[in-house]
Structure 1
Amino acid sequence: MLAHQRQARILDEVRRAGGVRVSELTTLLGVSDMTVRRDLDQLAADGTVQKVHGGAVLAARVTEEPGFEAKSGLAQGAKRAISTRAATLIEPGTAVALSAGTTTWGLGQHLASIPGLTVVTNSTTVADTISTSATGKHTVILTGGVRTRSAALVGPVADATIRSLHFDQLFLGVHGMDGHAGFTTPNLAEAETNRALIDRARTVIVLADSSKWGTVGLADFGPLSAADILITDDGMPAEARAVLAESVGELILVPYVSEEAAP
Protein backbone atom coordinates (compact mmCIF):
# COMPACT_ATOMS: atom_id res chain seq x y z
CA MET A 1 0.00 0.00 0.00
CA LEU A 2 1.40 3.40 -0.99
CA ALA A 3 1.75 6.23 1.53
CA HIS A 4 -1.16 8.24 0.17
CA GLN A 5 -3.36 5.13 0.23
CA ARG A 6 -2.48 4.46 3.89
CA GLN A 7 -3.17 8.06 4.78
CA ALA A 8 -6.56 7.97 3.06
CA ARG A 9 -7.39 4.78 4.98
CA ILE A 10 -6.28 6.38 8.25
CA LEU A 11 -8.41 9.46 7.60
CA ASP A 12 -11.43 7.28 6.84
CA GLU A 13 -10.90 5.44 10.12
CA VAL A 14 -10.59 8.71 12.09
CA ARG A 15 -13.82 10.00 10.54
CA ARG A 16 -15.61 6.72 11.24
CA ALA A 17 -14.49 6.25 14.84
CA GLY A 18 -13.84 9.83 15.89
CA GLY A 19 -10.25 9.01 16.82
CA VAL A 20 -7.62 6.32 16.41
CA ARG A 21 -4.66 4.91 18.32
CA VAL A 22 -1.29 4.24 16.76
CA SER A 23 -1.42 0.63 18.03
CA GLU A 24 -4.76 0.05 16.31
CA LEU A 25 -3.47 1.45 13.02
CA THR A 26 -0.35 -0.73 13.03
CA THR A 27 -2.58 -3.80 13.28
CA LEU A 28 -5.10 -2.51 10.74
CA LEU A 29 -2.49 -1.54 8.14
CA GLY A 30 0.17 -4.15 8.91
CA VAL A 31 2.97 -1.57 9.19
CA SER A 32 5.30 -0.36 11.93
CA ASP A 33 4.33 2.28 14.45
CA MET A 34 7.04 4.53 12.98
CA THR A 35 5.32 4.37 9.59
CA VAL A 36 1.97 5.18 11.18
CA ARG A 37 3.45 8.14 13.04
CA ARG A 38 4.95 9.50 9.81
CA ASP A 39 1.53 9.19 8.15
CA LEU A 40 -0.11 11.00 11.08
CA ASP A 41 2.53 13.73 10.86
CA GLN A 42 1.63 14.25 7.21
CA LEU A 43 -2.11 14.30 7.88
CA ALA A 44 -1.57 16.76 10.72
CA ALA A 45 0.52 18.96 8.42
CA ASP A 46 -2.35 18.84 5.90
CA GLY A 47 -4.71 20.01 8.64
CA THR A 48 -7.03 17.00 8.47
CA VAL A 49 -6.18 15.41 11.83
CA GLN A 50 -4.92 16.61 15.19
CA LYS A 51 -2.29 14.46 16.89
CA VAL A 52 -2.95 13.52 20.50
CA HIS A 53 -1.01 11.28 22.89
CA GLY A 54 -0.97 7.80 21.37
CA GLY A 55 -3.04 8.61 18.28
CA ALA A 56 -5.08 11.26 16.49
CA VAL A 57 -8.52 12.84 16.26
CA LEU A 58 -10.14 14.96 13.56
CA ALA A 59 -8.63 18.43 13.34
CA ALA A 60 -10.46 21.05 15.42
CA ARG A 61 -12.62 18.29 16.91
CA VAL A 62 -12.23 19.72 20.41
CA THR A 63 -13.85 23.12 20.11
CA GLU A 64 -13.97 26.40 21.97
CA GLU A 65 -17.10 28.19 23.10
CA PRO A 66 -18.44 31.03 20.90
CA GLY A 67 -20.52 33.82 22.39
CA PHE A 68 -24.32 33.87 22.34
CA GLU A 69 -24.51 36.40 19.50
CA ALA A 70 -22.20 34.33 17.31
CA LYS A 71 -24.16 31.14 17.94
CA SER A 72 -27.55 32.76 17.37
CA GLY A 73 -26.67 33.40 13.73
CA LEU A 74 -25.96 29.73 12.97
CA ALA A 75 -28.47 27.21 11.54
CA GLN A 76 -31.37 29.59 12.18
CA GLY A 77 -33.93 27.71 10.07
CA ALA A 78 -33.21 24.39 11.76
CA LYS A 79 -33.31 25.96 15.22
CA ARG A 80 -36.70 27.58 14.54
CA ALA A 81 -38.14 24.28 13.33
CA ILE A 82 -36.76 22.40 16.36
CA SER A 83 -38.02 24.94 18.91
CA THR A 84 -41.46 25.05 17.29
CA ARG A 85 -41.73 21.25 17.52
CA ALA A 86 -40.46 21.25 21.10
CA ALA A 87 -43.21 23.64 22.18
CA THR A 88 -45.85 21.08 21.20
CA LEU A 89 -44.54 18.74 23.94
CA ILE A 90 -45.28 21.16 26.80
CA GLU A 91 -48.49 20.75 28.77
CA PRO A 92 -50.19 23.75 30.47
CA GLY A 93 -49.61 24.08 34.19
CA THR A 94 -46.36 22.10 34.32
CA ALA A 95 -42.88 22.91 35.59
CA VAL A 96 -40.28 23.02 32.84
CA ALA A 97 -36.59 23.87 32.74
CA LEU A 98 -34.81 25.49 29.80
CA SER A 99 -31.02 25.37 29.75
CA ALA A 100 -28.88 28.03 28.15
CA GLY A 101 -28.63 27.94 24.36
CA THR A 102 -29.88 29.62 21.23
CA THR A 103 -32.43 26.88 20.42
CA THR A 104 -33.85 26.94 23.95
CA TRP A 105 -33.95 30.74 23.62
CA GLY A 106 -36.11 30.19 20.51
CA LEU A 107 -38.34 27.83 22.49
CA GLY A 108 -38.84 30.54 25.11
CA GLN A 109 -40.55 32.69 22.48
CA HIS A 110 -43.27 30.05 22.11
CA LEU A 111 -44.21 29.84 25.79
CA ALA A 112 -46.66 32.76 25.75
CA SER A 113 -49.28 30.46 24.18
CA ILE A 114 -48.99 27.81 26.93
CA PRO A 115 -50.72 28.93 30.16
CA GLY A 116 -49.68 28.46 33.76
CA LEU A 117 -46.07 27.35 33.43
CA THR A 118 -43.33 27.45 36.03
CA VAL A 119 -40.11 27.95 34.10
CA VAL A 120 -36.66 27.30 35.58
CA THR A 121 -33.70 28.56 33.56
CA ASN A 122 -30.01 29.23 33.96
CA SER A 123 -30.00 31.55 30.95
CA THR A 124 -30.33 35.31 31.14
CA THR A 125 -31.39 35.48 27.49
CA VAL A 126 -34.08 32.82 27.93
CA ALA A 127 -35.43 34.63 30.99
CA ASP A 128 -35.47 37.93 29.09
CA THR A 129 -37.37 36.53 26.11
CA ILE A 130 -39.99 34.89 28.36
CA SER A 131 -40.42 38.12 30.31
CA THR A 132 -40.89 40.04 27.05
CA SER A 133 -43.21 37.61 25.25
CA ALA A 134 -45.17 36.20 28.21
CA THR A 135 -45.25 39.01 30.76
CA GLY A 136 -47.18 37.97 33.87
CA LYS A 137 -48.26 34.61 32.42
CA HIS A 138 -45.61 32.39 33.98
CA THR A 139 -43.54 32.02 37.11
CA VAL A 140 -39.90 32.32 36.06
CA ILE A 141 -37.10 31.07 38.34
CA LEU A 142 -33.64 32.29 37.37
CA THR A 143 -30.99 30.15 39.01
CA GLY A 144 -28.38 32.82 39.61
CA GLY A 145 -24.68 32.06 39.20
CA VAL A 146 -21.72 33.23 37.18
CA ARG A 147 -22.52 34.24 33.59
CA THR A 148 -20.51 32.63 30.76
CA ARG A 149 -19.92 33.89 27.22
CA SER A 150 -22.92 31.86 26.08
CA ALA A 151 -25.21 33.64 28.58
CA ALA A 152 -25.37 30.58 30.85
CA LEU A 153 -25.45 30.98 34.63
CA VAL A 154 -23.19 28.34 36.16
CA GLY A 155 -21.23 27.51 39.28
CA PRO A 156 -22.11 26.57 42.89
CA VAL A 157 -24.99 29.05 43.22
CA ALA A 158 -26.70 27.83 40.05
CA ASP A 159 -26.10 24.18 40.91
CA ALA A 160 -27.47 24.53 44.46
CA THR A 161 -30.63 26.22 43.19
CA ILE A 162 -31.23 23.54 40.56
CA ARG A 163 -30.67 20.68 43.03
CA SER A 164 -33.37 22.10 45.31
CA LEU A 165 -36.01 21.84 42.55
CA HIS A 166 -37.87 19.26 40.49
CA PHE A 167 -39.34 19.79 37.02
CA ASP A 168 -41.47 17.75 34.66
CA GLN A 169 -39.45 18.43 31.51
CA LEU A 170 -35.96 19.71 30.79
CA PHE A 171 -35.29 21.25 27.38
CA LEU A 172 -31.54 21.05 27.01
CA GLY A 173 -29.35 22.77 24.46
CA VAL A 174 -25.95 21.26 23.69
CA HIS A 175 -22.74 22.57 22.19
CA GLY A 176 -21.93 19.23 20.61
CA MET A 177 -22.94 15.58 20.45
CA ASP A 178 -20.97 12.55 19.37
CA GLY A 179 -21.41 8.80 19.39
CA HIS A 180 -18.39 8.33 21.66
CA ALA A 181 -18.25 11.55 23.70
CA GLY A 182 -22.01 11.98 24.19
CA PHE A 183 -23.25 15.51 24.94
CA THR A 184 -20.51 18.06 25.52
CA THR A 185 -19.68 21.69 26.22
CA PRO A 186 -16.39 23.61 26.18
CA ASN A 187 -17.11 24.98 29.69
CA LEU A 188 -16.37 22.76 32.71
CA ALA A 189 -18.73 24.65 35.04
CA GLU A 190 -21.54 24.55 32.48
CA ALA A 191 -21.11 20.78 32.19
CA GLU A 192 -21.66 20.43 35.96
CA THR A 193 -24.74 22.67 35.83
CA ASN A 194 -26.16 20.63 32.94
CA ARG A 195 -25.63 17.44 34.96
CA ALA A 196 -27.63 18.98 37.79
CA LEU A 197 -30.43 19.89 35.38
CA ILE A 198 -30.54 16.36 33.98
CA ASP A 199 -30.63 14.89 37.49
CA ARG A 200 -33.71 16.91 38.54
CA ALA A 201 -35.81 16.36 35.41
CA ARG A 202 -38.49 13.73 34.98
CA THR A 203 -38.07 13.89 31.17
CA VAL A 204 -34.94 15.13 29.36
CA ILE A 205 -35.51 16.59 25.90
CA VAL A 206 -32.39 17.59 23.96
CA LEU A 207 -32.69 20.23 21.24
CA ALA A 208 -29.77 20.03 18.79
CA ASP A 209 -29.54 20.90 15.12
CA SER A 210 -27.61 18.60 12.81
CA SER A 211 -24.51 20.81 12.77
CA LYS A 212 -23.88 19.76 16.40
CA TRP A 213 -23.17 16.17 15.38
CA GLY A 214 -19.48 15.31 15.57
CA THR A 215 -18.64 18.43 17.57
CA VAL A 216 -16.89 17.63 20.84
CA GLY A 217 -16.33 20.16 23.61
CA LEU A 218 -13.90 19.84 26.47
CA ALA A 219 -16.33 18.41 29.04
CA ASP A 220 -19.10 15.85 28.66
CA PHE A 221 -22.25 15.95 30.80
CA GLY A 222 -24.02 12.79 29.74
CA PRO A 223 -24.13 9.95 27.22
CA LEU A 224 -26.58 10.08 24.33
CA SER A 225 -28.81 7.72 26.32
CA ALA A 226 -29.41 10.53 28.84
CA ALA A 227 -31.91 11.99 26.35
CA ASP A 228 -35.45 10.64 26.67
CA ILE A 229 -36.26 12.60 23.50
CA LEU A 230 -33.91 14.25 21.01
CA ILE A 231 -35.27 16.73 18.48
CA THR A 232 -33.07 17.54 15.49
CA ASP A 233 -33.49 18.45 11.83
CA ASP A 234 -33.65 16.17 8.84
CA GLY A 235 -30.25 17.39 7.66
CA MET A 236 -28.75 14.89 10.09
CA PRO A 237 -26.59 12.35 8.17
CA ALA A 238 -28.00 8.83 7.87
CA GLU A 239 -25.16 7.27 9.88
CA ALA A 240 -25.71 9.74 12.72
CA ARG A 241 -29.46 9.10 12.65
CA ALA A 242 -28.81 5.39 13.12
CA VAL A 243 -26.54 6.01 16.11
CA LEU A 244 -29.03 8.39 17.71
CA ALA A 245 -32.00 6.09 17.07
CA GLU A 246 -30.21 3.31 18.96
CA SER A 247 -29.10 5.56 21.82
CA VAL A 248 -31.86 8.02 22.74
CA GLY A 249 -35.33 7.16 23.96
CA GLU A 250 -37.08 8.80 21.00
CA LEU A 251 -35.61 10.56 17.97
CA ILE A 252 -37.73 13.30 16.35
CA LEU A 253 -36.61 14.68 12.98
CA VAL A 254 -38.14 17.95 11.82
CA PRO A 255 -38.07 19.22 8.23
CA TYR A 256 -37.02 22.77 7.47
CA VAL A 257 -35.98 24.97 4.56
CA SER A 258 -32.49 26.34 4.99
CA GLU A 259 -31.82 30.01 4.39
CA GLU A 260 -29.44 29.05 1.59
CA ALA A 261 -32.10 27.00 -0.19
CA ALA A 262 -34.87 29.57 0.22
CA PRO A 263 -35.67 31.61 -2.92
Structure 2
Amino acid sequence: MLATQRQELILATVRAHGAARVSDLVDDLGVSDMTIRRDIAELARAGLVRRVHGGAVAPEGTRASDEPGFEVKVEHAGPQKTAIARAAHADLEPGQTVALSAGSTTYRLAELVAQDAALRPFTVVTNGLRIADVLHRAVAPGDLEVVLTGGVRTPSDALVGRVADASLALLRVDRAFLGVHGLDESGLTTPNLAEAATDRALMGCAAATTVLADHTKWGTVGLAKIADLEEVDLVVMDDEAPAAARRLLTDRLQTVVVGDDPAAPPAGAPGTLPPHVGDDA
Protein backbone atom coordinates (compact mmCIF):
# COMPACT_ATOMS: atom_id res chain seq x y z
CA MET A 1 0.00 0.00 0.00
CA LEU A 2 1.30 3.43 -0.93
CA ALA A 3 1.93 6.04 1.75
CA THR A 4 -0.81 8.26 0.31
CA GLN A 5 -3.29 5.37 0.51
CA ARG A 6 -2.41 4.68 4.14
CA GLN A 7 -2.71 8.33 5.01
CA GLU A 8 -6.13 8.61 3.41
CA LEU A 9 -7.32 5.59 5.41
CA ILE A 10 -5.94 7.13 8.60
CA LEU A 11 -7.63 10.43 7.78
CA ALA A 12 -10.92 8.66 7.01
CA THR A 13 -10.76 6.92 10.40
CA VAL A 14 -10.13 10.20 12.22
CA ARG A 15 -12.96 11.91 10.36
CA ALA A 16 -15.37 9.07 11.06
CA HIS A 17 -14.52 8.50 14.73
CA GLY A 18 -12.76 11.67 15.84
CA ALA A 19 -9.56 9.77 16.64
CA ALA A 20 -7.34 6.86 15.58
CA ARG A 21 -4.98 4.76 17.72
CA VAL A 22 -1.55 3.80 16.40
CA SER A 23 -1.99 0.22 17.69
CA ASP A 24 -5.30 -0.19 15.86
CA LEU A 25 -3.88 1.25 12.65
CA VAL A 26 -0.89 -1.11 12.82
CA ASP A 27 -3.28 -4.08 12.99
CA ASP A 28 -5.64 -2.74 10.32
CA LEU A 29 -3.00 -1.72 7.80
CA GLY A 30 -0.38 -4.39 8.48
CA VAL A 31 2.58 -2.02 8.77
CA SER A 32 4.98 -1.06 11.52
CA ASP A 33 4.35 1.30 14.42
CA MET A 34 7.03 3.65 13.03
CA THR A 35 5.38 3.75 9.59
CA ILE A 36 2.05 4.76 11.11
CA ARG A 37 3.69 7.44 13.22
CA ARG A 38 5.40 8.88 10.13
CA ASP A 39 2.06 8.92 8.30
CA ILE A 40 0.39 10.71 11.22
CA ALA A 41 3.24 13.23 11.32
CA GLU A 42 2.75 13.94 7.61
CA LEU A 43 -0.99 14.46 8.08
CA ALA A 44 -0.32 16.70 11.07
CA ARG A 45 2.08 18.86 9.03
CA ALA A 46 -0.72 19.33 6.48
CA GLY A 47 -3.07 20.43 9.28
CA LEU A 48 -5.44 17.51 8.70
CA VAL A 49 -5.00 15.80 12.10
CA ARG A 50 -3.50 16.61 15.49
CA ARG A 51 -0.89 14.28 16.94
CA VAL A 52 -1.55 13.01 20.46
CA HIS A 53 0.05 10.32 22.60
CA GLY A 54 -0.78 6.98 21.02
CA GLY A 55 -2.43 8.26 17.86
CA ALA A 56 -4.17 11.16 16.16
CA VAL A 57 -7.34 13.18 16.64
CA ALA A 58 -9.26 15.67 14.53
CA PRO A 59 -7.77 19.18 14.61
CA GLU A 60 -9.14 21.30 17.43
CA GLY A 61 -12.16 23.31 16.41
CA THR A 62 -12.74 21.41 13.16
CA ARG A 63 -16.20 22.38 11.95
CA ALA A 64 -18.09 22.53 8.69
CA SER A 65 -17.21 26.23 8.57
CA ASP A 66 -13.45 25.66 8.96
CA GLU A 67 -11.55 26.66 5.83
CA PRO A 68 -8.00 25.34 5.21
CA GLY A 69 -5.51 27.71 3.61
CA PHE A 70 -4.19 27.28 0.08
CA GLU A 71 -0.76 26.02 1.19
CA VAL A 72 -2.38 23.16 3.13
CA LYS A 73 -4.68 22.16 0.29
CA VAL A 74 -2.18 22.30 -2.56
CA GLU A 75 0.16 19.75 -0.95
CA HIS A 76 -2.54 17.21 -0.11
CA ALA A 77 -3.25 14.37 -2.60
CA GLY A 78 -0.82 16.02 -5.02
CA PRO A 79 -0.38 13.13 -7.53
CA GLN A 80 -4.12 12.62 -7.81
CA LYS A 81 -4.77 16.32 -8.35
CA THR A 82 -2.11 16.40 -11.05
CA ALA A 83 -3.69 13.43 -12.85
CA ILE A 84 -7.11 15.07 -12.72
CA ALA A 85 -5.70 18.35 -14.04
CA ARG A 86 -3.92 16.53 -16.89
CA ALA A 87 -7.17 14.87 -17.96
CA ALA A 88 -8.94 18.24 -18.00
CA HIS A 89 -6.06 19.92 -19.85
CA ALA A 90 -6.08 17.26 -22.59
CA ASP A 91 -9.45 18.48 -23.85
CA LEU A 92 -8.81 22.21 -23.92
CA GLU A 93 -8.68 23.80 -27.37
CA PRO A 94 -7.15 27.01 -28.72
CA GLY A 95 -9.57 29.91 -28.81
CA GLN A 96 -11.63 28.73 -25.86
CA THR A 97 -12.64 30.81 -22.87
CA VAL A 98 -12.81 28.90 -19.60
CA ALA A 99 -13.43 29.81 -15.98
CA LEU A 100 -11.31 28.35 -13.19
CA SER A 101 -12.57 28.62 -9.64
CA ALA A 102 -10.03 29.20 -6.89
CA GLY A 103 -8.67 25.87 -5.69
CA SER A 104 -5.66 23.57 -5.54
CA THR A 105 -6.68 21.24 -8.39
CA THR A 106 -7.74 24.10 -10.66
CA TYR A 107 -4.38 25.70 -9.80
CA ARG A 108 -2.63 22.63 -11.20
CA LEU A 109 -4.74 22.95 -14.35
CA ALA A 110 -3.70 26.60 -14.60
CA GLU A 111 -0.03 25.56 -14.40
CA LEU A 112 -0.54 23.29 -17.40
CA VAL A 113 -2.33 26.05 -19.33
CA ALA A 114 0.51 28.46 -18.57
CA GLN A 115 3.07 26.04 -20.00
CA ASP A 116 1.10 25.14 -23.16
CA ALA A 117 1.87 27.62 -25.93
CA ALA A 118 -0.08 25.45 -28.40
CA LEU A 119 -3.34 26.39 -26.65
CA ARG A 120 -3.14 30.06 -27.56
CA PRO A 121 -5.10 32.16 -28.16
CA PHE A 122 -6.81 31.25 -24.90
CA THR A 123 -8.73 33.13 -22.22
CA VAL A 124 -9.11 32.28 -18.55
CA VAL A 125 -11.60 33.90 -16.19
CA THR A 126 -10.82 33.25 -12.53
CA ASN A 127 -11.52 34.36 -8.98
CA GLY A 128 -8.32 32.67 -7.79
CA LEU A 129 -5.38 34.90 -6.93
CA ARG A 130 -2.87 32.05 -7.17
CA ILE A 131 -4.30 30.99 -10.53
CA ALA A 132 -4.12 34.51 -11.94
CA ASP A 133 -0.54 34.82 -10.71
CA VAL A 134 0.72 31.58 -12.30
CA LEU A 135 -0.91 32.53 -15.61
CA HIS A 136 0.43 36.09 -15.45
CA ARG A 137 3.96 34.76 -14.93
CA ALA A 138 3.75 32.38 -17.93
CA VAL A 139 6.86 32.53 -20.10
CA ALA A 140 6.08 34.37 -23.37
CA PRO A 141 2.36 34.59 -22.57
CA GLY A 142 1.42 35.63 -26.13
CA ASP A 143 -2.32 35.37 -26.63
CA LEU A 144 -3.05 34.13 -23.11
CA GLU A 145 -5.60 36.51 -21.63
CA VAL A 146 -6.50 36.45 -17.93
CA VAL A 147 -9.63 38.04 -16.48
CA LEU A 148 -9.48 38.31 -12.68
CA THR A 149 -12.65 39.12 -10.80
CA GLY A 150 -12.50 41.60 -7.97
CA GLY A 151 -13.80 40.75 -4.54
CA VAL A 152 -12.88 40.00 -0.95
CA ARG A 153 -10.02 37.59 -0.31
CA THR A 154 -10.69 34.35 1.60
CA PRO A 155 -8.18 32.14 3.53
CA SER A 156 -7.94 29.96 0.41
CA ASP A 157 -6.96 32.97 -1.75
CA ALA A 158 -10.30 33.18 -3.54
CA LEU A 159 -11.93 36.47 -4.44
CA VAL A 160 -15.60 36.36 -3.45
CA GLY A 161 -18.57 38.56 -2.66
CA ARG A 162 -20.77 41.02 -4.51
CA VAL A 163 -18.01 42.47 -6.69
CA ALA A 164 -16.89 39.03 -7.86
CA ASP A 165 -20.48 37.90 -8.43
CA ALA A 166 -21.32 41.04 -10.43
CA SER A 167 -18.22 40.59 -12.61
CA LEU A 168 -19.14 37.00 -13.44
CA ALA A 169 -22.73 37.97 -14.26
CA LEU A 170 -21.39 40.03 -17.19
CA LEU A 171 -19.36 37.19 -18.70
CA ARG A 172 -19.98 34.04 -20.74
CA VAL A 173 -17.46 31.19 -20.98
CA ASP A 174 -17.34 27.82 -22.77
CA ARG A 175 -16.76 25.77 -19.64
CA ALA A 176 -16.24 26.30 -15.92
CA PHE A 177 -13.81 24.07 -14.01
CA LEU A 178 -14.82 24.02 -10.38
CA GLY A 179 -12.82 22.85 -7.38
CA VAL A 180 -14.81 21.96 -4.27
CA HIS A 181 -14.17 21.50 -0.57
CA GLY A 182 -16.66 18.66 -0.28
CA LEU A 183 -18.69 16.35 -2.49
CA ASP A 184 -21.37 13.81 -1.59
CA GLU A 185 -24.78 12.58 -2.73
CA SER A 186 -26.39 15.89 -1.72
CA GLY A 187 -24.07 18.00 -3.88
CA LEU A 188 -21.07 20.33 -3.69
CA THR A 189 -20.12 22.28 -0.57
CA THR A 190 -17.59 24.76 0.78
CA PRO A 191 -16.92 26.16 4.28
CA ASN A 192 -17.31 29.76 3.08
CA LEU A 193 -20.79 31.22 2.51
CA ALA A 194 -19.57 33.96 0.19
CA GLU A 195 -17.42 31.56 -1.81
CA ALA A 196 -20.44 29.30 -2.37
CA ALA A 197 -22.34 32.22 -3.91
CA THR A 198 -19.40 33.17 -6.13
CA ASP A 199 -18.97 29.56 -7.26
CA ARG A 200 -22.66 29.54 -8.23
CA ALA A 201 -22.10 32.75 -10.21
CA LEU A 202 -19.14 31.12 -11.93
CA MET A 203 -21.31 28.13 -12.89
CA GLY A 204 -23.99 30.52 -14.11
CA CYS A 205 -21.73 32.16 -16.68
CA ALA A 206 -20.61 28.84 -18.20
CA ALA A 207 -22.17 26.73 -20.94
CA ALA A 208 -21.08 23.63 -19.00
CA THR A 209 -19.51 22.88 -15.62
CA THR A 210 -16.86 20.30 -14.79
CA VAL A 211 -16.01 19.52 -11.16
CA LEU A 212 -12.40 18.50 -10.46
CA ALA A 213 -12.40 16.52 -7.20
CA ASP A 214 -9.84 14.13 -5.78
CA HIS A 215 -11.00 11.22 -3.64
CA THR A 216 -10.44 13.03 -0.34
CA LYS A 217 -13.31 15.38 -1.17
CA TRP A 218 -15.91 12.60 -1.15
CA GLY A 219 -17.87 12.58 2.10
CA THR A 220 -16.49 15.94 3.25
CA VAL A 221 -19.26 18.43 3.97
CA GLY A 222 -18.80 22.19 4.22
CA LEU A 223 -21.16 24.73 5.72
CA ALA A 224 -22.46 26.19 2.46
CA LYS A 225 -23.96 24.33 -0.46
CA ILE A 226 -22.78 25.33 -3.93
CA ALA A 227 -25.03 23.18 -6.11
CA ASP A 228 -26.80 19.86 -6.49
CA LEU A 229 -25.04 17.09 -8.38
CA GLU A 230 -27.64 17.40 -11.15
CA GLU A 231 -26.47 20.96 -11.83
CA VAL A 232 -23.02 19.66 -12.83
CA ASP A 233 -22.27 18.30 -16.30
CA LEU A 234 -19.19 16.25 -15.48
CA VAL A 235 -17.06 15.12 -12.53
CA VAL A 236 -13.39 14.21 -12.99
CA MET A 237 -12.00 12.22 -10.07
CA ASP A 238 -9.14 9.82 -9.33
CA ASP A 239 -9.37 6.06 -9.01
CA GLU A 240 -8.91 6.05 -5.23
CA ALA A 241 -12.45 7.33 -4.77
CA PRO A 242 -14.66 4.77 -2.95
CA ALA A 243 -16.41 2.35 -5.29
CA ALA A 244 -19.80 3.37 -3.88
CA ALA A 245 -19.07 7.02 -4.65
CA ARG A 246 -18.03 6.20 -8.19
CA ARG A 247 -21.19 4.17 -8.76
CA LEU A 248 -23.41 6.92 -7.42
CA LEU A 249 -21.76 9.61 -9.50
CA THR A 250 -21.80 7.47 -12.63
CA ASP A 251 -25.51 6.80 -12.14
CA ARG A 252 -26.40 10.45 -11.67
CA LEU A 253 -24.10 12.30 -14.08
CA GLN A 254 -21.20 11.81 -16.45
CA THR A 255 -18.03 10.84 -14.60
CA VAL A 256 -14.42 10.37 -15.69
CA VAL A 257 -12.02 8.46 -13.45
CA VAL A 258 -8.28 8.91 -13.99
CA GLY A 259 -5.25 7.14 -12.55
CA ASP A 260 -3.01 8.69 -9.93
CA ASP A 261 0.28 8.52 -11.87
CA PRO A 262 1.17 12.08 -12.95
CA ALA A 263 3.64 10.68 -15.51
CA ALA A 264 1.00 8.62 -17.29
CA PRO A 265 -0.92 9.91 -20.36
CA PRO A 266 -4.22 11.60 -19.48
CA ALA A 267 -7.08 9.13 -19.40
CA GLY A 268 -9.17 9.07 -22.55
CA ALA A 269 -7.40 12.03 -24.12
CA PRO A 270 -8.43 13.80 -26.19
CA GLY A 271 -12.20 13.84 -26.13
CA THR A 272 -12.52 12.83 -22.47
CA LEU A 273 -14.37 15.98 -21.55
CA PRO A 274 -16.97 16.71 -24.23
CA PRO A 275 -17.71 20.43 -24.72
CA HIS A 276 -21.42 20.17 -23.90
CA VAL A 277 -21.86 17.00 -21.92
CA GLY A 278 -25.12 18.21 -20.44
CA ASP A 279 -26.89 17.08 -23.64
CA ASP A 280 -25.67 13.51 -23.20
CA ALA A 281 -25.60 13.04 -19.43
TM-score using structure 2 length: 0.68
Helix, strand or coil at the partner of 2:174: strand
Q: Which residue of 2 aligns with 1:27?
A: none
Q: Which residue of 2 aligns with 1:130?
A: 135
Deviation at 1:227, TM superposition (A): 1.6
How many aligned residue pairs are there? 201
Q: Check conservation: 2:65, 2:192, Cα contact below 8 A.
A: no
Read off the aligned partner of 1:156 and give its amino acid letter. Answer: R
Unaligned runs of 5+ in 2: 1-15, 17-56, 263-281
Give the Cα separation in 2 of the matches to 1:192 and 1:225: 17
Per-residue CA deviations over 1:169-200 (Å, capped at 9, x if unaligned) read 101000000112x1000000000000101111
1:221 is the counterpart of 2:226:
yes
Read off the aligned partner of 1:165 and give its amino acid letter. Answer: L
Deviation at 1:110, TM superposition (A): 1.2
Q: Which residue of 2 aligns with 1:253?
A: 257
Deviation at 1:63, TM superposition (A): 5.3
Q: Which residue of 1 aligns with 2:67?
A: 65
Deviation at 1:89, TM superposition (A): 1.9
Q: Check conservation: 1:61, 1:216, Cα contact below 8 A.
A: no
Q: Which residue of 1 aligns with 2:276?
A: none
Report which stretch shifted further, 214-223 or 103-112.
103-112
Q: Which residue of 2 aligns with 1:232?
A: 237
1:173 is the counterpart of 2:175:
no
Give the Cα separation in 1 of the matches to 2:201 and 2:181: 17
Q: Which residue of 1 aligns with 2:123?
A: 118
Read off the aligned partner of 1:177 and give its amino acid letter. Answer: L
Unaligned runs of 5+ in 1: 1-14, 16-47, 49-59, 259-263
Q: Which residue of 2 aligns with 1:41?
A: none
Q: Which residue of 1 aligns with 2:152?
A: 146
> Which of 1 and 2 has greater Rg?
1
Give the Cα separation in 2 of the matches to 1:197 and 1:111: 19
Read off the aligned partner of 1:184 and give its amino acid letter. Answer: T
Helix, strand or coil at the partner of 2:121: coil
Q: Which residue of 1 aligns with 2:249?
A: 244
- Aligned-pair identity in percent equals 48
Q: Which residue of 2 aligns with 1:156?
A: 162
RMSD: 2.0
Among 85, 88, 104, the residue aligned to 1:86: 88
Give the Cα separation in 2 of the matches to 1:130 and 1:146: 20
Give the Cα separation in 2 of the matches to 1:163 and 1:156: 10
Give the Cα separation in 1 of the matches to 2:162 and 2:87: 33
Read off the aligned partner of 1:143 and give its amino acid letter. Answer: T
Among 183, 193, 212, the residue aligned to 1:207: 212
TM-score using structure 1 length: 0.73
